[in-house]
Structure formats: C-alpha cells, structure tokens
Amino acid sequence: MSQAQQLQNPAADLFANQTALITGAGDGIGKALALRLAELGAELVLMGRTQAKLEAVDDAIRAVGGKAAVVCPCDLATLDETQADSIMEGIQAECGKLDMLVHNAGILGPRSPIENITLADWAKVMQVNLTAPYVLTRKALPLLRNGEQSRILFTSSGVARPGRAYWGPYAVSKAGTENLCEILAAELTETHTMRVNSINPGPTRTGMRAAAYPAENPNTLPTAEDHIPAYLWLLQRESSAQSGFCYDIWPLPLNLSRLVP
C-alpha cells in the first residue's frame, strides 16, 4: 500500500504520546486537523480566538475517546512576548513538551488595492499571520526540543508567490511566512532533527474562503477533512516529507510522488 493510501486509513496510534499545538483550532482546517490528530492518539493544545469554539472542539475530541485537550484562548492580534512566555509555561506544566507546532490561524484582511489599505489593517494582518507565528515559534523552541523529531508546520497560500493583485497584506504575510519557514528550517538543520515546512492547502470550504469568494458555490470545493491526509503526511514522525519546503497540496487527490522534491 502506498503512503498516500495509508494516510487515508492510518494506524489508530499514529500520533500516540505526541503533543500538538494548533492555532486557529476552533474552526475550519484547524478544527478538522485537531479532531483527527486527537483520534489518532495525540494530546492537543487548542489555541484560538473564541473560547466557546475551542471548548466545543475539546468536547468533540472527548466524544471520540481522545485525551482531554488543553484549551488556550488567545487573540493573536495582541499576542506579545510576555503572553507567549506564559502560554509556553502553561504547556510545559501540562504536557512537558511539544512534538508538533501547527501555525494555522489566519485572517484575510482587506482585499483591495495597496493604495487603499490603511496602516492599521496592514499591521493587523501582519501581526496575526506572520508576527504571532514568529513569536510563538521562538518561545516554543525549548518545548519542541523536548519533543522527539519535532515538526513545525506553517500555513501559506497560493496568492503568496507570485504576489497577486488586490490580495494586499494577506499575500505579503504568506510570502513572509514561506520565507520564515525556509530560514528556520535551514538554521535548525544545522543542529537539530526538527522538520520545518509550510503548507498551501489550496481552495477549501471554510469561512475564510467564503469571505474571499462570496459568489462561489462552496459545494464545488474540497472540505477541510479532504486535506487532512496531506497534513498527516507532513506531521507524522516517519515521513518522506523533507524540511524547508512549501508543499502545495492542491489539486486533490493527494499524490505524494508529485510532492516529494
């Protein structure tokens, strides 16, 4: 059986004894990923803006027999180093380590010409999509070094490179995310066994996509669940995935031979 087929029906303990922090875990792709990792044995730290959504995901995890999650409400728009330090202290106390850090949360921001974008809108998108992942990563590294062959996964977008007109700070933040991923991967391969990648999920039936394309029929799009095998491939400990790449998993179905460089 190929690795792609195995990921459609993975071993029930594929992520046993592993801890994953997912940002934006209350909705969309982050929620689907959190549920699947928990089903496959992982302990989850659910980070997101809306506490009620995170608690609903925790309830769903326990309903399928997963381990109770650590619920971590946090607005990335205001995250600073002090708050990131206390979040990591909390994870250290609860879990002692991190095996996976998934930067999934993101905002679209205004889709308009650069000329019309205010500094406040620009700064907010950069803070949520790029600066917060940088701060969280830096503060999480000691916990990731306690994990085994830890994995960091950033989230990019098809509008990042080349930059696309009218996608403004969102596209710039995603291009920066890919660059951050490449830099970090190169720095960490010198001394550690950590795998650092970025994923572009491609068009996905979520609230963000509906906001970006309000006239589109969502039923024509893959669901967040459809993308989960690719995420499992990038996140599992033993994988043909390399480090330092932006993996563009679109179009489906998942074809690993296309992705392996």
Q: Catalytic: which of 166, 170, 231, 247?
A: 170
From 13-21, 45-53, 90-98, 240-248, span contacting ligand NDP (CB under 6 A): 45-53
157, 197, 239, 243: which one contacts ligand NDP (CB under 6 A)? 157
Among 126, 123, 175, which Cα is nearest to 154's? 175
Residues 195-254 contacting ligand NDP, CB under 6 A = 200-204, 206-209
Q: Which helix or strand (DSSP H or E) is residue 246 part of? A: strand 246-248
Active site residue 170: yes
Only one of the segments 55-63, 105-113, 114-122, 252-260 lies at the binding site for ligand NDP (rule: CB under 6 A); that segment is 105-113
Q: Which is nearer to ligand NDP, 76 or 101 (CB)?
A: 76
* Burial of 189 per CB tally in 10 Å (0-12, 13-18, 19+): middle
Q: CA-to-CA distance for 207 and 151, rounded, in angstroms?
A: 27
Contact string (CB under 6 A) for ligand NDP, positions 10-29, x = contact: --------------x-xxxx
User: Using CB under 6 A, which of 30, 66, 133, 147 touches ligand NDP?
Assistant: 30
Nearer to ligand NDP, 50 or 116 (CB): 50
Sheet holding 70-73, edge to edge: 70-73, 43-48, 19-23, 100-102, 151-155, 195-200, 246-248
Q: Which is nearer to ligand NDP, 128 or 194 (CB)?
A: 128
- 229-261 b/e with 16+ CB inside 10 Å = b? bbbbbbbbeebebebbbbbbbeeeebebeebee
| CB-based contact 88:142 (threshold 8 Å) | yes
Residue number, nearest CB to ligand NDP: 28
Among 5, 17, 50, 116, binds ligand NDP (CB under 6 A): 50
Which residue ranges make up the site for ligand NDP (CB under 6 A)?
A: 24, 26-30, 48-50, 53, 74-77, 104-107, 128, 155, 157, 200-204, 206-209
